[in-house]
Amino acid sequence: MALNSDQKRFLAAALTELEEHLLRFERLLQADETVTIFRKIPNPFSPEQRAKLLELIEEVKGQLRAMREAFCLPTEIVDLRWQLTVTLLHIATTLEECQSRRIKSFGELDNETAKQLDNRLQSLTALVDAIGQAAKNR
**Residues 77-133: pLDDT tens digits?**
999 999 999 999 999 999 999 999 999 889 999 999 999 999 999 999 999 999 999
Per-residue pLDDT at 40 exceeds 80: yes
Residue 29 near residue 43, CB atoms below 8 Å: yes
Residue 51 near residue 30, CB atoms below 8 Å: no
pLDDT of residue 137: 73
End-to-end CA distance of the chain: 45
3-state secondary structure (DSSP) of residue 40: strand
In the structure, what pLDDT confidence band is assigned to residue 72 with cuts at 50, 70 and 90? very high
CA distances from 31 to 24, 43, 60 (A): 12, 7, 21
Task: Tell me the pTM.
Answer: 0.80
Residue 128 near residue 95, CB atoms below 8 Å: yes
In 3D, which of 75, 73, 104, 94 has the Cα closest to residue 2?
A: 73
The H or E element containing residue 135 is helix 111-136
Give the per-residue SS3 of 60-124.
HHHHHHHHHHHCCCCCCCCCHHHHHHHHHHHHHHHHHHCCHHHHHHHCCCCHHHHHHHHHHHHHH
- The residues spanned by each domain of the chain are 5-70, 80-136
Please work out, in degrees rounded to the nearest 5, the angle formed at the alpha carbon of residue 112 by the alpha carbons of 107 and 115.
85
